[in-house]
Amino acid sequence: MPHPATGTRTTATHCPYCSLQCGVTMTAGDRPATLVPADFPVNRGGLCSKGWSAPELLDHPERLTRPLVRAVPGDRTSPLVESTWDDALDRIVTAVRTTQDRHGRDAVGCFGGGGLTNEQAYQFGKFARVALRTSAIDYNGRFCMSSAAGAAIKALGLDRGMPFPLADVAEADVVVLVGSNPADTMPPAMQYFDAGRARGAELIVVDPRRTNTAKNASLHLQPLPGTDLALANGLLHIALAEGLVDEAYIAARTTGFDDVRAGVAGYWPDRVERLTGVPVAQQRRTVFALARGKRAIILSARGAEQHRSGTDTALAWINLALALGLPGREGSGWGTVTGQGNGQGGREHGQKADQLPGYRKITDPAARAHVAAVWGVDPESIPGPGRSAFEMLDALGTDGGVRTMLVLASNIAVSAPDARRVISRLGNLDFLAVSDFFLSETAELADVVLPSAMWAEEEGTMTNLEGRVVRRRQAMSAPDGVRDDLQSLAELAGRLGAAGFSGDAGTVFAELGRASAGGAADYSGISYDRIDAEDGVFWPCPQTPAGAPEHPGTPRLFTERFATPDGRARFHRVEHVDAHERPDAQYPYVLTTGRVLAQYQSGTQTRRSRSLQLIAPTPRAELHPDLARTLGIAQGDAVELATRRGRARFHAQVTDTIRPDVVFVPFHWGGGASANALTDPALDPTSRMPAFKVCAVAVTRVGVAEERIPAPEPAAQPQPLAHTPPTAHTPHAPSRRRTTSVKSTPRFLSGVYPITGEGLGKPGPVDPALRYQVPEGRTAQALYFRGGNSTDELVYLLLVRDGEPMRWFPIGAKGDCHVPLRVVEDLDGGTVVELHAAAPLGVTGEIVVDLGLVEV
Ligand SMILES: Nc1nc2c(c(=O)[nH]1)N[C@H]1C(S)=C(S)[C@@H](COP(=O)(O)OP(=O)(O)OC[C@H]3O[C@@H](n4cnc5c(=O)[nH]c(N)nc54)[C@H](O)[C@@H]3O)O[C@H]1N2
Ligand SMILES: Nc1nc2c(c(=O)[nH]1)N[C@H]1C(S)=C(S)[C@@H](COP(=O)(O)OP(=O)(O)OC[C@H]3O[C@@H](n4cnc5c(=O)[nH]c(N)nc54)[C@H](O)[C@@H]3O)O[C@H]1N2
Ligand code: SF4
Ligand SMILES: [Mo]
């Protein structure tokens, strides 16, 4: 509202950064603009340092206010120089036409971001399909939410990060946070956790680091990165063994539990301790807390999800939640903590490769017909699904790949996995256009850079982590020469000969509502007026017939039924797989990556904020004191991290909050301190999520503490590798750390096998995998036997040596056993060892076996 005396005006809007979308009140008019936190239902007056400092950037001297183009068109070694919008858009249109004429429509690609408003994201998807008619569009949410989203759709039928309002967290008796550090990534959300703890609620945090979140928890589980799936399966194993599962709920509201029950039989507590490093006592405490809490919530975030088994990991935690009867129960459930400002809305309205607005599938003929009618195009003209984000980036400039690309609101040169490879692929493009408000590392590589309006200068809507659609309101006008992406896309579409693109947010929102009507994420009943009046509206919110009362929106999902065809949630049996890359002699430690409080994402914005630079000025690698001592590293020393993909340098932050075998670095910097020069682009087979959270790393000290660390020698960098398409999971034997000092080799006869009993007196071989011959010239010893039995009868396993029974292992009905075997005699070279099984006649079920031997 304008102030008559000063000419300033105050506007209620939201912080530009994360998915909490804290409400703020901005005062603008007499620059510089300022803001104060608002008493919005999400942040309730709270704000973090990023939110407080956000206005600093609006009139930052490095803000782009004119389009930039190459001084010599087509020559990216020539400098970027200021130009006019006409020239910049002309160059883009010419490049699009030339590329599509030569290489076909799919050779022009679009890459979007979860920071865009719903209107912009929707417009970008439509722009790709209608103005460019390309299938090549995806966005950075693939690097963020895709695993959890895929799991939620499989299990619950719908992906809305949190299916309940954040305020439910304050009412819960127990909250388990898996790979989530809100004390640093969403500080104002901590008030809900704190309120719960003040009432005596349990907060249990699963994180390889004792984070600021974990420090305040009642229990901290500190697993090895990449083992959360095994942990979840193990917790369900205990819940079953202890009779804690909610059989009535499972029968009434779910399908597929029997398969999961059989699957988790193999995750007995001490095996899970061995895989994860989480002590059995802590596993038990977690399960009992979850099962006993009247209201219990499990939340996962990037720590658990950014793995090549991210989707299965999220499914494992959903399985646990379902078995305990949590989803849809009052004040309880499973959710994932969405990350970017519009990470939720940005994945609903069509900037994903496989998707049309309203969270519709692009392969669904009915969805295509509906959306085509709203767009006024022939359904046949809408392209099919395109490649996922990393796969699109990795094919840039190749036959069949994208050759001209438009990037909106993403800084892939810093944030994509194996970033040096992505940078080299960007160099193969015929043409790159980037829209940003600063010259990001990606924009630096572009042919044309479009200066975009910032959050306080534009209108639109964002959907926060709870599925609440909120309004980004214009608090001030953009600097001269700067345009909203909505307008730029509308203008570009027009120049490409496509009609029906508006630059007005309200008009686009109304169209988005129509396009989403009837879809899973139905926004058709939401209007700007309703958002204003109701402090946001939770989707789905369909439009009701004229005269009928308005749909109230849906703060809580799944209370009656799940969003599957039969209304039941689906269990999915999932198995632990080892990380794609495990420590070895050359790269002996585990690297994981993530965030620090005072930097945001690829850092384009926050690295330019003076106040935030005071808090987090340099990238730091966290190392445990034991590891630091081994490597001769002192606090603040310059260290070089090397992986199979690249090298990067950081200041050492020696801290006992991290596991001694793990190193953590933030990914907010590029250049010589690029965490993503190191990360592994092994992709999840379902979600195509890269393994940002685990790879093998070597650490060396390169110098004493100094303010600026020189970048690693370019010559020392490995060459970017060709992309090997990811293969499906193959379950492995339980993981073992290799050591170089002991000349012994572990051998395992292990796995889960079906058995059919032929009588207790008639043992027989189970599977060829349960046979091992000691190599000539070596000897072996059996170290232990562990086994589980899913049947209702006693079974036994028999260790057979050269055809003769050697040891018997009885396992009771639905029981397990663990037998140390260290005193068993040596097995000489040539000896054949086998495991046979016996069960009463006709009894069927599964056994889980794990015989550990050592070969010396
Ligand atoms: N300050 C700040 N806040 C942000 C952002 C930011 O860049 N900076 N980004 C926003 C966005 S887009 C997102 S997606 C969210 C992300 O929010 P979070 O998921 O909370 O953030 P991360 O730091 O990526 O990862 C969380 C934790 O996972 C742990 N972790 C690493 N590997 C594993 C593992 O294998 N298992 C488990 N259980 N934990 C593991 C890390 O130690 C880390 O503490 O934050 C949002 N908020
Ligand atoms: N190693 C490692 N890498 C990671 C992660 C990790 O945990 N570890 N996390 C991943 C995750 S969860 C995410 S979400 C991605 C994020 O990675 P990015 O996609 O790079 O996200 P941002 O840094 O937010 O990039 C946004 C860019 O667009 C600009 N921008 C912001 N808003 C707008 C807008 O509205 N319009 C326009 N035109 N420009 C805008 C910003 O200035 C910035 O340069 O990084 C991923 N990369
Ligand atoms: S928590 Fe997120 S939305 Fe809130 S002020 Fe901080 S960055 Fe902004
Ligand atoms: Mo994210």
Which ligand 2 atom is the nearest neighbour of the CA of 437? 42
Cα 302 to middle of ligand 1, angstroms: 5
Ligand nearest to the CA of 591: 1
3-state class of 108 per DSSP? strand
**Percent of the residues in the chain that have a pLDDT greater than 90, as a whole number:** 85
Q: Which of 143, 448, 684 to mutate to test the pocket of ligand 2 (most atoms within 8 A of CB)?
A: 143
Confirm if 600 and 606 have CB atoms less than 8 A apart. yes
**Separation CA 340–CA 415 (nearest Å):** 13
pLDDT value at 737 more than 50: no
Q: What is the pLDDT of residues 496-520, one digit of tens each?
A: 999 999 999 999 999 999 999 999 9
Closest-CA residue to 239 (of 214, 206, 264): 264
Residue 208 Cβ contacting ligand 1 at under 6 Å: yes
**Separation CA 495–CA 87 (nearest Å):** 12
pLDDT value at 688 more than 80: yes
Give the confidence band of 2 by pLDDT, cuts at 50, 70, 90.
low
Give the confidence band of 99 by pLDDT, cuts at 50, 70, 90.
very high
State the average pLDDT over residues 262-272: 96
Residue type at position 842: G
Strand ranges of the sheet holding 816-820, from the earlier edge strand across to the other edge: 745-756, 844-855, 780-789, 816-820
Which residues, at least 6 apart from 496, have a Cβ–Cβ distance to it below 8 Å? 93, 96, 131, 132
Q: Whose CA is nearest to atom 2 of ligand 1?
A: 185
Cα 667 to middle of ligand 1, angstroms: 10
Ligand nearest to the CA of 665: 2
Residue 11 Cβ contacting ligand 1 at under 6 Å: no
Give the confidence band of 721 by pLDDT, cuts at 50, 70, 90.
low
pLDDT of residue 728: 47
Confirm if 408 and 124 have CB atoms less than 8 A apart. yes
- Both ends of the chain: CA-CA distance in Å? 79
State the average pLDDT over residues 517-546: 98
Report residue 497: phi and psi, to 5°.
90, 15
Q: What is the pLDDT of residues 294-304, one digit of tens each?
A: 999 999 999 99
DSSP string over 50-84: HHHHGGGGTT-TT---S-EEESSTT-TTSPEEE--
**Separation CA 166–CA 159 (nearest Å):** 16
pLDDT value at 230 more than 50: yes
pLDDT, averaged across the chain: 94
Would you report the helix, strand and coil content of the chain in percent, each value rounded to 5?
A: 30, 25, 45
- Count Cβ neighbours within 10 Å for each residue of 554-586 and write b for 16 or more, e otherwise: bbbbbeeebbbeeebbbbbbbbbbbbbbbbeee
Structural domains of the chain, ranges and CATH numbers in brackets: 9-57 (2.20.25.90), 68-144+342-457+476-504 (3.40.50.740), 147-336 (3.40.228.10), 589-716 (2.40.40.20), 745-855 (2.60.120.1340)
Closest-CA residue to 408 (of 340, 351, 354): 351
Cα 68 to middle of ligand 2, angstroms: 21
Ligand nearest to the CA of 609: 2
What are the angstrom distances between the C-alpha of 784 and each of 817, 824, 854? 11, 10, 10
State the average pLDDT over residues 580-587: 96
Q: Which of 14, 19, 20 to mutate to test the pocket of ligand 3 (most atoms within 8 A of CB)?
A: 20
Token pair in block for residue 850 = 């794990």
pLDDT of residue 745: 78
Counting every residue written for the chain, the total comes to 856
**Separation CA 323–CA 571 (nearest Å):** 9
Which residues, at least 6 apart from 360, have a Cβ–Cβ distance to it below 8 Å? 367, 370, 371, 519, 520
Cα 351 to middle of ligand 4, angstroms: 15
Q: What is the pLDDT of residues 442-459, one digit of tens each?
A: 999 999 999 999 999 999
Please name the helix (run of DSSP H) or strand (run of DSSP E) that holds residue 169, with its range, or none: helix 168-171
pLDDT of residue 123: 98
**Separation CA 706–CA 708 (nearest Å):** 6
Which ligand 3 atom is the nearest neighbour of the CA of 54? 8
pTM, whole model, 2 decimals? Answer: 0.86
pLDDT of residue 722: 62
Long-range contacts of the stretch 532-541 (C-beta < 8 A, 24+) = 532/471, 535/40, 535/41, 535/470, 536/41, 536/464, 536/468, 536/469, 536/470, 536/471, 537/468, 537/469, 538/165, 538/466, 538/467, 538/468, 538/469, 539/160, 539/348, 539/463, 539/467, 539/469, 541/469
Query: Which residues is 491 bridged to in the sheet?
Result: none
Give the confidence band of 822 by pLDDT, cuts at 50, 70, 90.
low
Cα 321 to middle of ligand 3, angstroms: 28
Which ligand 1 atom is the nearest neighbour of the CA of 600? 7
pLDDT of residue 736: 40
Q: What is the pLDDT of residues 358-392, one digit of tens each?
A: 999 999 999 999 999 999 999 999 999 999 999 99
Q: Which of 36-45, 486-495, 822-831 has the lowest mean pLDDT?
A: 822-831
Ligand nearest to the CA of 599: 1
Cα 108 to middle of ligand 2, angstroms: 21
**Percent of the residues in the chain that have a pLDDT greater than 70, as a whole number:** 95
Token pair in block for residue 465 = 């982590």
Can you list the alpha helix ranges (DSSP code H) found in 265-364?
269-276, 280-292, 302-305, 310-323
Ligand nearest to the CA of 597: 1
State the average pLDDT over residues 406-423: 97
Give the confidence band of 731 by pLDDT, cuts at 50, 70, 90.
very low
Cα 114 to middle of ligand 4, angstroms: 8
pLDDT value at 744 more than 80: no
State the average pLDDT over residues 9-31: 94
Q: Which of 15, 17, 18 to mutate to test the pocket of ligand 1 (most atoms within 8 A of CB)?
A: 18
DSSP string over 254-270: EE-HHHHHHHHTT--HH
Residue 594 Cβ contacting ligand 2 at under 6 Å: yes
